[in-house]
């Protein structure tokens, strides 16, 4: 049997890892492209993304409690649907989230020193990869500090956006322009663009997908049957509340058109509200949030690589676990190296769409797996995985064309690799290598 990872994470640690992935990625990266797609209906996109996230989180939590192993939906797909579906889920997650790592590293670099974002991004990936080599508890401890600081900055941004002098000139109950837009939507002033709403939801789903980090750390969580569902629910609830308040504050202070084109929307928010002196603090919060997201992403991707290597869907050498630190050292180094290579050509907005496509397909497989659960296995209400499966595929199809084309091409390449390995007699039919 291959070495197993130590169970060192409690509920609070798991919640913090999930929050650092979701809040860092969503607030500072996904709102602008989502606003470009949905316009005045951004809040509707956010609500739809939250519904999809809830369905996926519920299905994933039930499966993670049943299979508390590293790898997330890659493991569930192999166990419930067969090796091919598990492989495609793991392939999509690994490729998509590697792109997310690059996007978060570039976000960090752009906020800290525009013009030198790529060198700074490479340094950030290298430093956090080394940090992860020292053990998951130390990584979770750093994530706790990052989340506390970012939440404090976001509370300040929300307060400024809702109560700032310039915004408040319209009056609290006017909610201009956000709630005014909501009221006009109801009156038909802004006709609903269903395609735009769905595309915005697909892009915003990128912001919610961090709860996957909790499931992929299943082998390192204490009492996973209780801890994982609890941590997923808490992290998702906190994130939704924060996102909703930030979205209202941003739309109230910035017109959707300005929000859609902004490279630093929350920094622009405080400036427009009359508190430009706070912009450097917001930029610092964005940089720290990006680091927190990058830290959690590197952890999650490396654990999926570990699981795929154990099943020989990736080179078996990547399944080694450090006997002292009890971390998948080779998998973490491989992921860090891949992200650094990708940073040479990465584009932030393109990476968000590409990542969303891969992760939505990943969760479609998770919901399909949940449909196979029996009552004695903790099956969720049937409507939850059905809605999750349908909505995941629908949102993936409505993403920007370039993201869909790139996503389909990557999955096609993965399928070809799988079939070639199978034709050559590769170990694709499941099972870890014998001891």
Query: Which pLDDT tens digit goes with each residue over 89-103?
Result: 989 888 888 888 888
Q: Please give the pLDDT value at position 355.
A: 87
Residue 198 and residue 48 in contact, taking contact as beta carbons nearer than 8 Å: yes
Question: Pick from 210, 194, 208, 196: which is nearest to 400 by CA?
Answer: 196
Q: Please give the pLDDT value at position 428.
A: 47
Angle at CA of residue 104, ends 101 and 105, nearest 5°:
85
Angle at CA of residue 14, ends 10 and 20, nearest 5°:
145
280: Cβ contacts below 8 Å, ≥ 6 apart: none
Domains of the chain: 11-423 (1.20.1740.10)
pTM: predicted TM-score of the whole model, two decimal places: 0.79
Q: Please give the pLDDT value at position 208.
A: 81
Alpha-carbon torsion (139, 140, 145, 146), positive or negative: positive
For the CA atoms of the chain, what is the radius of gyration?
21
H/E stretch holding 355: helix 348-370
The CA-atom distances, in angstroms, between 303 and each of 20, 29, 118 are 17, 24, 25
What are the residue ranges in the chain where pLDDT is below 50? 1-2, 167-188, 428-435
Question: How far apart, in Å, do the first and last CA atoms of the chain sit?
Answer: 5
The CA-atom distances, in angstroms, between 212 and each of 16, 71, 218, 365 are 13, 10, 10, 13
Q: Please give the pLDDT value at position 170.
A: 38
The label of the residue with tokens 């090796």 reads 83
């Amino acid at each position: 049997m291959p070495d197993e990872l130590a169970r060192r994470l409690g509920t609070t640690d798991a919640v913090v890892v999930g929050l650092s992935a979701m809040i860092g990625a969503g607030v500072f990266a996904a709102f602008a492209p989502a606003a470009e797609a949905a316009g005045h209906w951004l809040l509707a996109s956010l609500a739809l993304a939250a519904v999809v996230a809830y369905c996926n989180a519920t299905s994933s939590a039930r499966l993670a409690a049943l299979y508390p192993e590293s790898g997330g939906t890659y493991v569930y797909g192999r166990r419930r649907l067969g090796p091919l579906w598990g492989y495609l889920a793991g392939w999509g997650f690994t490729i998509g989230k590697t792109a997310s790592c690059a996007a978060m590293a570039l976000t960090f670099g752009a906020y800290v020193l525009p013009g030198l974002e790529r060198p700074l991004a490479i340094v950030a990936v290298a430093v956090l990869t080394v940090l992860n080599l020292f053990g998951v508890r130390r990584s979770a401890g750093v994530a706790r500090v990052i989340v506390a600081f970012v939440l404090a900055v976001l509370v300040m941004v929300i307060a400024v956006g809702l109560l700032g002098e310039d915004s408040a000139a319209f009056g609290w109950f006017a909610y201009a322009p956000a709630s005014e837009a909501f009221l006009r939507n109801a009156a038909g002033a802004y006709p609903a663009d269903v395609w735009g709403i769905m595309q915005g939801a697909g892009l915003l789903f990128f912001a919610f997908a961090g709860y996957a980090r909790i499931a992929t750390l299943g082998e390192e969580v204490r009492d996973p049957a209780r801890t994982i569902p609890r941590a997923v629910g808490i992290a998702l609830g906190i994130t939704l509340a924060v996102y909703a308040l930030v979205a209202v504050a941003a739309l109230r202070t910035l017109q959707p058109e300005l929000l859609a084109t902004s490279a630093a929307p929350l920094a622009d928010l405080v400036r427009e509200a009359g508190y430009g002196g706070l912009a450097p603090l917001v930029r610092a919060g964005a940089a720290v949030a990006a680091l927190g997201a990058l830290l959690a992403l590197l952890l999650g991707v490396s654990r999926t690589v570990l699981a795929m290597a154990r099943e020989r869907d990736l080179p078996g050498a990547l399944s080694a676990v450090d006997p002292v630190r009890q971390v998948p050292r080779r998998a973490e180094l491989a992921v860090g190296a891949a992200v650094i290579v990708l940073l040479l050509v990465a584009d932030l907005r393109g990476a968000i769409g590409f990542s969303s496509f891969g992760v939505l397909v990943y969760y479609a497989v998770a919901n399909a797996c949940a449909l196979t659960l029996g009552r004695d296995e903790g099956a969720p209400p049937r409507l939850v995985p059905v809605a999750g499966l349908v909505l995941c595929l629908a949102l993936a199809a409505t993403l920007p064309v370039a993201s869909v084309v790139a996503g389909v091409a990557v999955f096609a390449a993965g399928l070809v690799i799988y079939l070639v390995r199978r034709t050559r007699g590769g170990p694709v039919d499941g099972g870890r290598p014998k001891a």
